[in-house]
Amino acid sequence: MNVSDLVQRAELAVKAGAGGLDAEVTGGYASDLLSAVMANAVEGNVWVTWHAHPNIVAVALLVKLSAIILVAGRQPEDETAEKAEQEGVPILVSSLPAFELVGRLHAMGVAGAT
């Protein structure tokens, strides 16, 4: 499954970084602590978070995440969107809170680490 499949099936809005929509999704990681994501998420994961801060793009690049999904209708800050656009890191937005979004992604087969 790639990022665009997720966009369609989970009804996500693409806010930036459409250049990265072909990336393969290896699983999911959900956290609002950047340090936890840097330490635990793995390459190709989609990251579910509340953070809209520009540092999320750098974290995504470090871990080589396939996409960032903001929850509860959060919008990326302007600088975040610009950086994501430049780097081709998709920033997607869901209207759902984290628990429900993760539930749906999981049901589509995007698993977490166990």
Rule CB under 8 A: say whether 55 interacts with other proteins.
Answer: yes
Q: How far apart are CA 71 and CA 14, in angstroms?
A: 13
One-letter amino acid at 43 equals E
Q: Which two tokens stand for residue 68?
A: 């960032």
Q: Three-state SS for 50?
A: coil
In this complex, which beta carbon is closest to other proteins, that of residue 67 or of residue 105?
Answer: 105
Alpha-helix residue ranges (DSSP H) falling in 1-114: 3-9, 34-40, 55-63, 78-87, 98-107
Q: How far is the CB of 28 from other proteins (least distance, A)?
A: 5
Rule CB under 8 A: say whether 102 interacts with other proteins.
Answer: yes
* Number of residues that this document lists for the chain: 114
Q: How far apart are CA 58 and CA 66, in angstroms?
A: 13
Q: For other proteins, which stretch binds (CB under 8 A), given 2-10, 12-20, 36-44?
A: 36-44
Q: For other proteins, which stretch binds (CB under 8 A), given 3-11, 16-24, 101-109?
A: 101-109
Rule CB under 8 A: say whether 90 interacts with other proteins.
Answer: no
Enumerate binding residues for other proteins (CB under 8 A). Answer: 27-36, 38, 40, 48, 50-53, 55, 58, 61-62, 72, 96-100, 102-107, 111-114
